Structure 1
C-alpha cells in the first residue's frame, strides 16, 4: 500500500518515559501506512466456513447420510423380494409334486356332460373338488318293455357319471340323493312319431319318491301336442326339456316318466337325465 506524499501531514514525535522528545521513528516526509489484516482474516475465515462446493460440511454430511439411508432401504427391500421369490419357488415345487401324485384323482373328478335345452347345445364342465360335489348325469337307454313308463338310464357310458352323495339305482332308474339341499334337476326326452297325427301328443314328468311317504311327488311336468300340423301322416321328431332348482331331502329318489316310451329315439345324447347340488 503506497501513500500520496503531496499532502502535508503533521510530524509525529515519540516521547520516552522521561518526558524527553525523541526523534521520529520515520522520516517526517513519510507518512506511515497501515493495512487491515483483521478484515482480511475475517474474509478468509468466511471463505473457509463455506467448505464443500459452497455448502457447509455439516449440511453435506446430512445429505450423505440421507443417501445412505435410502440405499440401505432399497437394499433391504431387494433382499425381501428375493426371499419371497425363493418361498414362491418352494411352494410351486410342492404343488408340482402334489399334482404328480394326485393327477389320476383330479382327472377322475373333472367331468364334462352335454345336454340340449330348447334345441340349443350346451356344454357344462364340472370340476369336482376333493369332497366331490353331489352330481349325476345319465344317458338314455332303450328297454324293450312297452308298458314301462319310468325310464332306465346308462350311468357310465359316454359322458355319463355319478359323483358325491348321488347314486344311480339300476333296479328302478332313480337318482338317489344322500344329502339334503337345493338341486338343479333336468331331463330331456326325444320322441320319433313314424305316423304323426294332428292329435299326437306325449307327457314328460319328473317326480320324486320320498322316504316315509307313499305318495309320489311331481317335481316338473310338460304336455306336448300340436307338433304334427305341418306334416300329417308322416314321420316327425318331437322333444321336450324340463329343468329347474328344487329342494330335495336326504334319500329322495328322482325319476323320469314318458307317456310313450316306445317312441323314444335311440340317441344317447337326445335322452338324458341329471341333477347337481347348487
Structure 2
C-alpha cells in the first residue's frame, strides 16, 4: 500500500534493558511508489487493440476479393469477345463458300435452262442501239462519212450492224437518231454553206430519203483576220424505221471536219 507523506508515522521507542527509553528514531524516507491502472481497464484496452486489428484484416480481405473479381471479370469479357469474333468469322466464311458454290453452279444452270429449239437465244437480247465516233482520215473523197464502231465508247448491240459508214437496224419500230459534226478551218468564202444531213436507204428503193438536215450560212466572218474558226451542227429526232434500213450521215465539207473523236459522232437506239 502506498502511504501519504502528510500523515506522520507514530514514534517508535527503543527500550534498552539497562538504560531506559531511548529517543525515537526518525523513520527513513519512504520510497516512491507508482500507481497502475486497474486490471479491468487493461483488459478493455487489449480488447480494443485486438478489435482494430481484426477490422483491418477484414478490410484487406475484402479489397483482395474485389481485385480478384475484377481480374476474373476482365478475363471473362475477353473470352466472350474472342468467341464472338470467332463466330462472326465462321459466318463470313460460310457465306463466302456459299457464294463460290453458287457462282460455280450458275453457268451450268443457265445452259440447262436454254431450250434446244432456240440455240441463238441470248445473242441479241439487248435493245437495238449503236454509237459510232469520228474516224480521222487524211484524204476524204466523198461526202458520206465513215465512222469508228469499236474504239473508245463506240459500240453496236441488239442486232444493229455497222458497215461502210452505215448503221442497219434489224427491227421495225421507233428509234431516236442523232448525229453531231464539228467544222473548223482558218479560211472560208462568203458564199460557203455548211450542210449536215442524215438519210436512210431501204431495200428495193434506190433513192435515198433524207431524215434530218441542217444548214449553216454566214459563218465566214468568224474566220476573219486569219484566226481558226469552228462551227458545230447537231441533229436529233425520233423516227420510225423499218427492218433492214440503212442510215448514213452526209456533210458538205468533209475536209473541214475536226479531228477530235468526241466532236463527231452518230448513233441510234430503239425506244
TM-score bucket of the superposed structures, by smaller chain? 0.5 to 0.7
Choose which of 152, 155, 163 in structure 2 pairs with 1:158: 152
**Alignment check: 8 A CA contact 1:181 1:277 kept:** yes
Report the aligned-residue RMSD: 2.8
Gaps of 5+ in 2: 1-94, 108-121
Q: TM-score, normalised by structure 1?
A: 0.52
CA offset digits 1:97-152 (Å, max 9, x no partner): 469958xxxxxxxxxxxxxxxxxxxxxxxxx9982010000000023443310000
CA distance in 1, matches of 2:139, 2:242: 31
Q: Runs (4+) of structure 1 moved beyond 6 Å?
A: none
Q: What's the secondary structure of 1:229's corresponding residue?
A: helix
Shift of 1:225: 1.5
CA distance in 2, matches of 1:99, 1:257: 50
More strand by share: 1
Choose which of 218, 225, 234 in structure 1 pairs with 2:227: 234
CA offset digits 1:68-110 (Å, max 9, x no partner): xxxxxxxxxxxxxxxxxxxxxx9xx78x9469958xxxxxxxx
Choose which of 197, 205, 212 in structure 2 pairs with 1:205: 197
Q: After TM superposition, list the pairs within 5 Å mapping 1:7-22 onto structure 2.
A: none
What residue is the counterpart of 1:142 in the other structure? 136
Q: After TM superposition, list the pairs within 5 Å mapping 1:20-169 onto structure 2.
A: 97=102, 131-169=125-163
CA offset digits 1:194-245 (Å, max 9, x no partner): 2144444210010000111111000000001222324424310111000010
CA distance in 1, matches of 2:184, 2:247: 25
CA distance in 1, matches of 2:181, 2:133: 10
CA offset digits 1:33-74 (Å, max 9, x no partner): xxxxxxxxxxxxxxxxxxxxxxxxxxxxxxxxxxxxxxxxxx
**Alignment check: 8 A CA contact 1:188 1:272 kept:** yes
**Alignment check: 8 A CA contact 2:222 2:229 kept:** no
Gaps of 5+ in 1: 1-89, 103-127
**Alignment check: 8 A CA contact 2:128 2:270 kept:** yes
Aligned residues: 160
Choose which of 174, 179, 186 in structure 2 pairs with 1:187: 179
What residue is the counterpart of 1:263 in the other structure? 256
